[in-house]
Structure 1
């Protein structure tokens, strides 16, 4: 079966019985040209009938910029927390007429700057901070706005401090930290670990005992054995997935939380409340983070001063039986 040729604006003009210039004015919604409403509706109906889609390059030329924003995600597993952030940001940008495209680094695909130049991205949002050279390259590639920061701001340490203070307030004097094994997560995890260490130092406690685990019960059980050998009674996990793995590791030893080891996660993913036992976790206002990122993009494209980069996380403890 032969491929159907993509309809063009010339096809729409022919079907509507108008000039190609009139089609351009109508489809790009450019006011001030005195086009009668009957003519405008005839053009729109012809475009619908032909299933016409404006070419991105032509639309960008008409507007002076594209409607594409790229979110650069480093090479890390896309868990529930990241998925929620991407979905929220896509919806928030769509409300402003922008389309979000994600670029996953660390694979065998093309470099971020090449992709942005190819698709004509107007804005680039970094899930993690860009270095200065990358920022300059993105502007040279045609981006009008580059936001070189993570959705958690410049530091993740406050999250770790919040976790540790909760355990310390509950009487735990020897803390552990569950570090993920995936290298793509280490930068964020080490920031949270720094916050745990700071909270321990403030309370006059020894530094946290760090053990690594992936999302397997066997490796989590090894970490649990290490903490037990060091008399650890409470563990701050990098995120909820890691915390749930620690709970599975406890069960491998016939142990329970919080009687043998209290566990607290981060993110309040939907499965946290279904863990065994239900997981105590740190929740923060992801919606506010998303709104601020979108506001920065929209303001930058409009030539206005964007709002501040820092987001008010307003972290909340979700107390459940694991602590």
Structure 2
């Protein structure tokens, strides 16, 4: 089937292609009657006309696509919420948000952005200096998002993962727990989040937390609980709510009372957190605020404006329930 073009719309509406272009692109300064505008829009809708993204890029000199290169991660509740909110924020600014999950082994990042020619690229882990230079030369605004290292060109956006760990530790210490443990995930792909969260816990307690890798398996989680109890740990900061639920399951197998003998704090406030036994205390992040900040950073990078200020500390908070 042949693609519907603006010439087809013009023929259906009985106007020139220039008039079609003015109407569909909302070109200012054109004296087009409301009746003609309605006729063009109706013709485009009846034909299913979709403007060519490539042609629009040639006409405006800029793509409206924002490409997000998502690492090889399990997409959990919080990352999913962030991506959805970011898509909404960018759509309000007339941008198209495209997410490409995968790893460098699947397809190099350079091949992906060259195929799409986006206005901006968002990454969670950062680029090499060579990759940054290539994108800059191609006119792509680079936005290193969330966990990109400082000192790179472009608009650096950092989500304070360390603050998540600090909130966990401070909540436990505030409820009388001085000897803390940290439940580390057994998925290596999550280290990019787990390490800064653990660093936040370490920065908030005078004694180094006892770190145990906790799989999502009750029996193996029980082993971690047993080892924590043997060295006097009374409060556990878990990497996220799923790991915290594993700790709760392990405690139940051993007959360890939560929070009487072991307090547990998770991260993310997933729906299952409030259904846990006991309901899980957790740290949550305002993903709408983070997404709005990130979208503002993308638009600033594209237009060459200064980087926006990050969200305030109230974007991260503890939801206190019965587990701690």
Identify whether the pair has TM-score above 0.5, normalized to the shorter chain. yes
Corresponding residue number in structure 1 for 2:118 = 121
Q: 1:75 aligns with which of 72, 75, 97?
A: 72
Native 8 Å contact 2:71 2:101 kept in 1: yes
Corresponding residue number in structure 2 for 1:172 = 177
Shift of 1:12: 1.2
CA-to-aligned-CA distance 1:17-68 (integer Å, 9 cap, x gap): 2222222222222122333333222221111110111111112223321221
Native 8 Å contact 1:116 1:141 kept in 2: no
1:304 and 2:301 aligned: no
CA distance in 1, matches of 2:105, 2:47: 38
1:146 and 2:147 aligned: no
Q: Please give the TM-score of this superposition, normalised by the length of structure 2.
A: 0.89
Native 8 Å contact 2:145 2:294 kept in 1: no
CA distance in 2, matches of 1:12, 1:108: 44
CA distance in 2, matches of 1:155, 1:294: 17
Matches within 5 A, 1:156-167: 156-167=161-172
CA distance in 2, matches of 1:141, 1:231: 57
Corresponding residue number in structure 2 for 1:105 = 102
CA-to-aligned-CA distance 1:49-95 (integer Å, 9 cap, x gap): 10111111112223321221112222211111111111111111111
CA distance in 1, matches of 2:183, 2:229: 13
CA distance in 2, matches of 1:178, 1:106: 26
Query: Gapped runs of 5+ residues in structure 2?
Result: 148-156
| Matched positions, count | 314
Change (3 A) 1:141 1:112: farther
More moved, 146-155 vs 289-298: 146-155
More moved, 264-273 vs 178-187: 264-273
CA distance in 2, matches of 1:72, 1:320: 36
CA distance in 1, matches of 2:138, 2:251: 50
Shift of 1:121: 1.0
Native 8 Å contact 2:161 2:193 kept in 1: yes
1:37 and 2:6 aligned: no
Corresponding residue number in structure 2 for 1:234 = 235
CA-to-aligned-CA distance 1:87-132 (integer Å, 9 cap, x gap): 1111111111112111213275432232222222101122233343
1:58 and 2:63 aligned: no
Matches within 5 A, 1:178-217: 178-201=183-206, 205=207, 207-217=208-218
CA distance in 1, matches of 2:266, 2:245: 8
Shift of 1:300: 2.8
CA distance in 2, matches of 1:23, 1:117: 30
Shift of 1:238: 0.9
Shift of 1:141: 4.4
CA-to-aligned-CA distance 1:131-154 (integer Å, 9 cap, x gap): 4333223334441x2111317826
CA distance in 2, matches of 1:116, 1:277: 46
CA-to-aligned-CA distance 1:209-243 (integer Å, 9 cap, x gap): 11112323233223222212222111001111211
CA distance in 2, matches of 1:120, 1:35: 33
1:283 is paired with a residue whose SS is strand
1:215 is paired with a residue whose SS is coil
CA distance in 1, matches of 2:224, 2:104: 30
Change (3 A) 1:232 1:101: same
1:316 is paired with a residue whose SS is strand
CA distance in 2, matches of 1:135, 1:108: 19
Corresponding residue number in structure 2 for 1:271 = 272
